[in-house]
Chain A
Amino acid sequence: RKEVEQDPGPFNVPEGATVAFNCTYSNSASQSFFWYRQDCRKEPKLLMSVYSSGNEDGRFTAQLNRASQYISLLIRDSKLSDSATYLCVVNGEGTGFQKLVFGTGTRLLVSP
């Protein structure tokens, strides 16, 4: 089983739609969770961290479910500029340095 699994998509949605992505992780000891955004052929950039209580940043809402070991990202009122690949990122196993494990990404395409 992969450490971090995401549906690769693509998710095709019209402008204004609400879309949600899920991501599952295998390491129950993971403490840090993030969503990164990556535009085509560009570097990943942090979209938001994911906290146990859930958190919201404008049109974006992230949730963490530790019991089921998944995190989610909800995007409301989708914009054309939201078209990108969204990477689920979780800190991995080991003592000391906790390396980040990146999912393969979910591609979102928002159309007019």
Chain B
Amino acid sequence: DADVTQTPRNRITKTGKRIMLECSQTKGHDRMYWYRQDPGLGLRLIYYSFDVKDINKGEISDGYSVSRQAQAKFSLSLESAIPNQTALYFCATSARLAVGDEQFFGPGTRLTVL
């Protein structure tokens, strides 16, 4: 079984709709992240969370919100989706960020906003 799972894997929605992307992990990591990936732009950090009570904005948080329901669950919401939010979204986890530590990524959610 995958250590980091994301649902849904693919989603097509319309402008203005509310969308929630979910992430669950069984690695026991405290830290969780949401990234989006666009062609030619690399991965960009949307939000990150160090524990259930610690949520922080990343570099591109406008238009997004998150919820850390439990240590193992971190959800990303688009309150009113717009076409330029069409992207590949990844959830990631890590035990800590230090030299030699890695982030583990989920399989991604491909979101299309029409």
What number of A residues sit within 8 Å (CB to CB) of B?
22
**Inter-chain residue pair count (beta carbon < 8 A):** 50
Report B-chain residues with C-beta under 8 Å of the C-beta of A8: 40
Q: How large is the interface on B (under 10, 10 to 19, 20 to 34, 35 or more residues)?
A: 20 to 34
**Cβ-defined contact, A105 with B42, below 8 A:** yes
Interface string of B72-114 (1 = CB under 8 A from A): 0000000000000000101000000111101101111010000
Beyond A44-B43, A45-B105, A105-B42, whether A31 also contacts B99 by CB under 8 A is yes
- Tell whether, in the assembled complex, residue B102 and residue A91 are in contact, meaning their CB atoms are under 8 Å apart: no
Determine the residue in chain A with the shortest Cβ distance to B41.
A104
| Chain A residue contacts of B40, Cβ below 8 A | 8, 104
Interface residue SS majority, chain A: loop
Q: Does B48 contact A (CB under 8 A)?
A: yes
User: B106 to chain A: which residues have CB within 8 Å?
Assistant: 43
A92→B111 CA distance, assembly (Å): 27
**Taking beta carbons and an 8 Å cutoff, which residues of B are in contact with A?**
40-45, 48, 50, 56, 58-59, 88, 90, 97-100, 102-103, 105-108, 110
Using a CB–CB cutoff of 8 Å, the interface residues on chain A facing chain B are 4, 8, 31-32, 34, 41-46, 49, 87, 91, 97-100, 102-105
